Amino acid sequence: MSKYSMIYQVVRQVPKGKVATYGQVADLANLYGKARLVGYALYQIDISLSDIPWHRVINAKGEISQSPARYGADHLQRSLLEQEGIKFSPEGKINLKEYLWRP
């Protein structure tokens, strides 16, 4: 199984209304210390065709990792999370104590 396949397998398990961090996904995919690789893998997904809930993966600060290369997907990610009931602070952070997935 490829590294990306292992990452996607973990991300598919994150339930609606919860989030995981890039590092957490890496650890669960047995790719310790490879949080950036998780980001690269999720960037490769065609979000219009995929069943992978990419939007549920955020950074360790509880924030959406902003990237100009995502062509507006940062705003889409927040919108999708809010539709699942996840609340953001005025600073744009998610309370990980409340919303972090604990498999």
Query: How large is the average pLDDT for residues 6-31?
Result: 98
pLDDT in tens, 71-83: 556 688 999 999 9
Percent residues over pLDDT 70 in the chain = 92
**Which pLDDT score, from 0 to 100, does residue 76 have?**
87
Q: Determine which helix (DSSP H) or strand (DSSP E) holds 98, and give its type and residue range.
A: helix 96-99
What span, in angstroms and rounded, lies between the C-alpha atoms of 91 and 64? 11
pTM of the predicted model over 0.75: yes
How many other C-beta atoms can be found within 10 angstroms of the C-beta atom of residue 14? 22
- Does residue 22 carry a pLDDT above 80? yes
- Does residue 36 carry a pLDDT above 70? yes
Domain interval for residue 65: 3-99
Number of domains in the chain: 1
How many other C-beta atoms can be found within 10 angstroms of the C-beta atom of residue 60? 12
Domain CATH number, residue 71: 1.10.10.10
**Which pLDDT score, from 0 to 100, does residue 70 have?**
56
Among the residue ranges 38-47, 52-61, 91-100, the one predicted with the least confidence is: 38-47
